[in-house]
């Protein structure tokens, strides 16, 4: 279980996160909210990329607030960036081998790629460079998360920058990952179809937790806000909610 205790983060004199306290133990939890509400900052604090100004991060009963990124990774926490990193000279099979930690296993590697809709024959020996599209990179990164089998997988807007066809496939990928993973998933998204498959949704606004509840309840409220003309620009097929 992940527990955040009174997390605050201040940068350049601005309060980005304000007293965030949460207990997260559901299998698939989504974070959404207006741009600038602190979503990515919160995920980076959980991973240890940045340190909170105050507060604690507790993972499975252990205080990990002062642990480095690699130490958290060793505990089973992984992070997928909004823009996947490309590694010149490395091939897809190399990354899957590193993620799995048990050397090259063609049977397993093929199953990980198949789970994200990629043909192993076409991709195992592809180099991680600019010949891969944004959608392909996102799916390879998700395959790496599956290969690692982490206890907590963090995803920062995996739908960002990909085309509509790739997005349709991405939904199926996360539905499958949700069903097969033994760990927990925490994902930042503005897309309704991703939010709908979450067990719960955290709605951040102005650096605070505005709502944290079952997915269906949060989705209903977002739709009600939109219909009532509150200024919320959230729409059914995706888009950021500006409160």
Domains of the chain: 2-87+134-221 (3.40.50.300)
CA distance 128 to 113: 14
What's residue 242's pLDDT?
36
The proportion of the chain whose per-residue pLDDT surpasses 70, expressed as a percent, equals 86
Alpha helices in the chain, H assignment, sequence order = 39-47, 69-74, 92-100, 106-115, 120-123, 134-148, 164-180, 192-196, 215-227
Q: Please, what is the average pLDDT of the chain?
A: 84
Spatial distance between the Cα atoms of 32 and 193, rounded to a whole number of angstroms: 13
- Report, as an integer, the average pLDDT of 111-129: 84
Query: Interior CA angle at 40 toward 35 and 43, to 5°?
Result: 150
CB within 8 Å of 14: residues ≥ 6 apart: none
Q: What residues contact 166, with CB distance under 8 A and at least 6 apart?
A: 133, 134, 135, 136, 138, 139
In this structure, what token pair is assigned to residue 150?
């982490």
* Choice between 117 and 24, residue whose per-residue pLDDT is larger: 24
Residue 65's pLDDT is 97
């Amino acid at each position: 279980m992940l527990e955040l205790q009174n997390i605050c983060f201040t940068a350049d004199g601005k309060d980005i996160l304000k007293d965030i306290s949460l207990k997260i133990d559901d299998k698939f939890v989504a974070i959404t909210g207006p741009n600038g509400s602190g979503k990515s900052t919160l995920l980076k604090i959980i991973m240890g990329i940045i340190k909170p100004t105050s507060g604690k991060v507790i993972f499975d009963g252990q205080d990990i607030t002062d642990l480095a990124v690699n130490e958290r990774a060793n505990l089973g926490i992984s992070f997928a960036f909004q823009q996947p990193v490309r590694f010149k000279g490395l091939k897809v099979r190399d990354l899957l081998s590193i993620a799995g930690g048990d050397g090259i296993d063609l049977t397993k590697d093929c199953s990980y790629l198949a789970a994200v809709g990629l043909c192993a024959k076409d991709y195992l020996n592809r180099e991680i460079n600019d010949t891969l599209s944004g959608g392909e990179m996102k799916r390879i990164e998700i395959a790496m998360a599956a290969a690692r089998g982490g206890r907590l997988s963090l995803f920062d807007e995996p739908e960002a920058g990909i085309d509509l066809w790739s997005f349709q496939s991405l939904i199926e990928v996360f539905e499958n990952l949700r069903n097969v993973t033994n760990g927990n998933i925490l994902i930042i998204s503005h897309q309704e179809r991703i939010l709908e498959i979450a067990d719960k949704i955290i709605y951040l606004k102005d650096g605070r937790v505005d709502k944290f509840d079952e997915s269906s309840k949060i989705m209903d409220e977002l739709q009600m806000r939109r219909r009532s003309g509150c200024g919320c620009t959230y729409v059914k097929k995706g888009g950021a909610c500006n409160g």
